[in-house]
């Protein structure tokens, strides 16, 4: 009972009780109607991730776990859609159910959506023109973006790698290292500094004494000066560390090791100069460096030294040896023992054994004059200096010999800052090609991160058309109609609009991470389009069931009303599909910490693309569907209505 001002009345019965068999039959029909489309949508999303599996190298290592995780989740999801979901509905969808209009959110959405869709139906050319214009604007936007291999990962530290002259002494390298560390520590944002000159005690570290490595650990960003960025810190440190004879280089510890192991280049980009003569290689390298000077974005430019090393040569005079009664081996033995040291025994400490070597003290071997006075004992003439039987001098030679594929090589190295990698290297390639003429037998090879960028781009360009074909075939199997498959597939370029706008206005360069974001976006866009087409076809079934399938009985106005009904009355599942994707992605925009700078380029195209593709699906897809059905009525005299099995 319920009470009004006029008395008590029986509460009206606002729901209809239905038999159990009919309830289960309704659930079965609804599941059949939706599950096939959702199943194929899941398969399409999995298919769209195929290019990720074909990535190799660093990009493959990074994104394969993402692709495998998403694939396994979606495979299980596809299985549950057609098996568990109908069972759960039959168990829990009981009792009283309110009409969709009873939900205030539904009513509000329909009140906003229905006038808009009617305006779209009225102004068809304007609607399609706006969409095509937005798509046309997004293409040059994408083409104007810079490109890079991967977005730079902030490792929360800096690696300072200066290079000095190849003949630098140990004492001078030590002095430079101490001065640099003191200057670096004077910056307030620096927490700890650890420097190393020369090679470590390992066969995998072939660093010469002239190459210094300093790891700079930074304080938490909350303790930095207001408004300062990591790029500002590097510029400030670089200005402080301008030491004559030292070429600065700035990178990060992890990416530096990856670059060195993968490409042999310890900077972002390296131009390998291959040839037959080290002197000619060095001359060509210097020419390349001169050409690259002044190219915007090129920083820390230097030539890997292949000459300029100093070698101590002891040239034995055999005539003098004969006069003193000495042999070459005796002289070599004295030189080896005095300068390099000779083993005299071993010491054992626990399980470790150490060789004991004896040589002259440093004061007696730290100059060429002292080396010339190294004493040599003779049988008949007593002790004589080394200079009596040998010429001791310094000679120039290569500090290190590097080869690739059995060819000698040098390298011109540089980092890229304040500009994207792709356009910087492309301008450098064009400039070198115009201004440099290589001698016969010599050639250049561009390596480093640019090498990885080209490899990733070639893989994605090769597989992308194949993926689109597979997606189209999956849609065709889902609908059994090429027209309906194309109607769902056309959402992909319109998803590109929002993705391009988001990437452009956030100032993110195109990279493998952005490409992975677009790949994921295309699958989501097609999935939402499939849901819309399913409900539009369901509306056509209702129209044909009520009015018959003939242009004699169906008017254009009725056709339009049923299309609007199919688009507007089932608005909730479409909005839910879009909202789930957005709610899962938007928090990444405010994420911080290690790794967030790599996630942002993946998420940006997905967020923008979901917004524009959903707008296209909600407004333009019904319009194109209506125009298609009007064409069918006009040309064939009836509608092409898909079977309810999908």
Can you tell me the distance from the alpha carbon of 212 to that of 190, in angstroms, rounded to the nearest whole number? 18
Residue 98, pLDDT > 80, answer no
Using CB atoms within 10 Å of the CB of residue 529, give its burial: 0 to 12 exposed, 13 to 18 middle, 19+ buried.
Answer: buried
User: Residue 101: its pLDDT value, please?
Assistant: 64
pLDDT-derived band at 11, boundaries 50, 70, 90:
very low
Q: For domain 310-397, which architecture applies?
A: 2-Layer Sandwich (3.30)
Of residues 107 and 120, the one with the higher pLDDT is 120
DSSP 595-619: THHHHHHHHHHHHHHHHHHHHHHHH
CA 184, CA 168: separation in Å to the nearest integer? Answer: 22
Q: pLDDT (tens digit, 9 = 90+) per residue, 204-253?
A: 666 777 778 888 998 888 888 888 888 888 888 888 888 888 888 888 88
* Stretch 268-283: mean pLDDT: 86
Q: Is the pLDDT of residue 15 over 70?
A: no
* Confidence at residue 204, expressed as pLDDT on a 0 to 100 scale: 63
Selected residue with higher pLDDT from 260 and 436: 436
- What is the rounded average pLDDT of the residues 495-504? 84
pLDDT digits (tens, 9 = 90+) for 314-368: 888 888 888 888 888 888 888 888 888 888 888 988 888 888 888 888 888 888 8
Quick one: pLDDT at residue 205?
Answer: 63
Q: Exposure string (b/e) for 33-47, b if CB count within 10 Å is 16 or more?
A: bbbbbbbbbbbbbbb
What is the per-residue pLDDT for 642?
A: 64
5: confidence class by pLDDT, cuts 50, 70, 90? very low
Comma-separated ranges of CATH 3.30.2090.10 domains in the chain: 310-397
CB 504 within 8 A of CB 514: no
- Residue 244: is it exposed, middle or buried by C-beta count within 10 angstroms (0-12/13-18/19+)? exposed
- Looking at the chain, the domain(s) classified CATH 1.20.1640.10 span 27-150+454-636
Distance (Å, whole) CA 580 – CA 528: 11
Q: How large is the C-alpha radius of gyration of the chain?
A: 37
34 or 381, which is more confident? Answer: 381
Is the pLDDT at 100 greater than 80? The verdict is no
Residues 85-97 have pLDDT tens digits of 888 888 877 766 6
- Full-model pTM: 0.71
Buried residues in 114-144 as b, exposed as e (16+ CB within 10 A): beebeebbeeeeebeeebeebbeebeeebee
What pLDDT is recorded for position 99? 66
608: confidence class by pLDDT, cuts 50, 70, 90: confident
Mean pLDDT of the chain: 80
3-state secondary structure (DSSP) of residue 341: coil
- Of the candidate ranges 55-59, 111-115, 175-179, 621-625, the one whose mean pLDDT is the lowest: 55-59
Nearest to 532 by CA among 614, 627, 607: 614
Mean pLDDT of 553-572: 79
Of 7-16, 87-96, 223-232, 520-529, the one with minimum mean pLDDT is 7-16
* Confidence band, pLDDT 50/70/90 cuts, at residue 3: very low
Query: Is residue 581 pLDDT above 70, yes or no?
Result: yes
- What's the pLDDT band for 644 if we cut at 50, 70, 90? very low
pLDDT in tens, 389-445: 888 888 887 777 777 777 888 888 888 888 888 888 888 888 888 888 888 888 888
C-alpha to C-alpha distance for 483 and 570, rounded to whole angstroms:
22
More confident residue, 259 or 128: 128
Percent of the chain with pLDDT over 70: 92
Q: Which of 161, 175, 176 is nearest to 216 (CA)?
A: 161
27-150+454-636: what fold?
A: Multidrug efflux transporter AcrB transmembrane fold (1.20.1640)
Q: How confident is the model at residue 37 (pLDDT cuts 50, 70, 90)?
A: low
Q: What is the pLDDT of residue 202?
A: 64
- pLDDT, mean of residues 539-555: 80
Mean pLDDT of 148-165: 82
pLDDT at position 364, please?
Answer: 82
């Amino acid at each position: 009972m319920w009470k009004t001002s006029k008395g008590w009345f029986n509460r009206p019965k606002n729901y209809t009780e239905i038999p159990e068999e009919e309830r289960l039959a309704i659930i079965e029909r609804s599941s059949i109607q939706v599950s096939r489309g959702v199943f194929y949508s899941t398969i399409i999303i999995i298919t769209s991730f195929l290019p990720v599996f074909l990535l190799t190298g660093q990009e493959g290592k990074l994104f394969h776990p993402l692709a495998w995780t998403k694939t396994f989740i979606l495979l299980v999801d596809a299985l549950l859609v057609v098996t568990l979901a109908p069972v759960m509905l039959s168990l829990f969808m009981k009792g009283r159910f309110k009409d969709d209009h009873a939900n205030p959110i539904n009513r509000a959405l329909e009140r906003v959506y229905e006038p808009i869709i009617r305006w779209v139906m009225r102004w068809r050319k304007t609607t399609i023109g706006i969409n095509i214009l937005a798509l046309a604007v997004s293409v040059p936007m994408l083409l104007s973006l810079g490109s890079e291999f991967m977005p730079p990962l902030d490792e929360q530290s800096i690696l300072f790698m200066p290079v000095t002259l190849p003949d630098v002494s140990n004492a001078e390298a030590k002095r430079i290292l101490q001065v640099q560390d003191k200057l670096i520590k004077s910056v307030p944002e620096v927490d700890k500094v650890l420097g190393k000159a020369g090679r470590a005690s390992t066969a995998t570290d072939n660093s010469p004494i002239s190459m210094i490595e300093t790891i700079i650990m930074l304080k938490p960003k909350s303790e930095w000066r207001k408004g300062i960025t990591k790029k500002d810190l590097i510029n400030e440190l670089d200005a402080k560390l301008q030491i004559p004879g030292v070429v600065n280089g700035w990178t990060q510890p992890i990416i530096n090791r990856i670059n060195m192991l993968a490409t042999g280049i310890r900077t972002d980009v390296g131009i390998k100069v291959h040839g037959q003569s080290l002197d000619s290689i060095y001359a060509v390298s210097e020419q390349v460096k001169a050409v690259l000077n002044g190219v915007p974005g090129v920083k820390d430019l230097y030539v890997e030294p292949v000459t300029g090393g100093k070698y101590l040569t002891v040239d034995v005079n055999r005539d003098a040896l004969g006069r003193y009664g000495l042999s070459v081996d005796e002289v070599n033995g004295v030189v080896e023992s005095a300068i390099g040291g000779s083993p005299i025994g071993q010491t054992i400490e626990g399980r470790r054994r150490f060789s004991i070597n004896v040589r002259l003290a440093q004061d007696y071997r730290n100059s060429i004059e002292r080396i010339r006075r190294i004493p040599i004992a003779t049988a008949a003439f007593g002790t004589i200096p080394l200079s009596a039987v040998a010429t001791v001098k310094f000679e120039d030679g290569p500090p290190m010999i590097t080869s690739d594929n059995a060819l000698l090589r040098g390298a011109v190295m540089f980092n890229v800052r304040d500009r994207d990698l792709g356009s910087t290297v492309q301008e450098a390639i064009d400039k070198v090609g115009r201004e440099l003429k290589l001698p016969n037998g010599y050639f250049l090879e561009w390596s480093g991160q640019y090498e990885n960028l080209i490899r990733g781009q070639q893989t994605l360009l090769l597989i992308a058309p194949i993926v689109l074909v597979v997606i189209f075939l999956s849609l065709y199997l889902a609908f059994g109609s090429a027209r309906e498959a194309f109607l769902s597939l056309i959402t992909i370029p319109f998803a590109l609009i929002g993705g391009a706008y988001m990437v452009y206005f956030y100032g993110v360069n195109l990279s493998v991470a952005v490409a992975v974001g677009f790949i994921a976006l295309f699958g989501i866009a097609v999935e939402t389009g499939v849901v819309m087409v399913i409900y539009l076809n369901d509306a056509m079934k209702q129209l044909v069931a009520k009015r018959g399938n003939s242009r004699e009985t169906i008017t254009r106005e009725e056709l339009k009303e049923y299309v609007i009904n199919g688009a507007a009355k089932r608005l909730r599942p479409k909005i839910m599909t879009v909202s789930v994707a957005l709610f899962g992605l938007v928090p990444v925009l405010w994420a911080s910490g290690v790794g967030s700078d790599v996630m942002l380029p993946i998420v940006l195209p997905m967020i923008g693309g979901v917004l524009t593709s959903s707008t296209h699906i909600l407004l333009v897809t019904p319009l194109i569907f209506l125009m298609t059905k009007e064409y069918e009525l006009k040309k064939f005299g009836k509608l092409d209505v898909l079977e309810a099995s999908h």
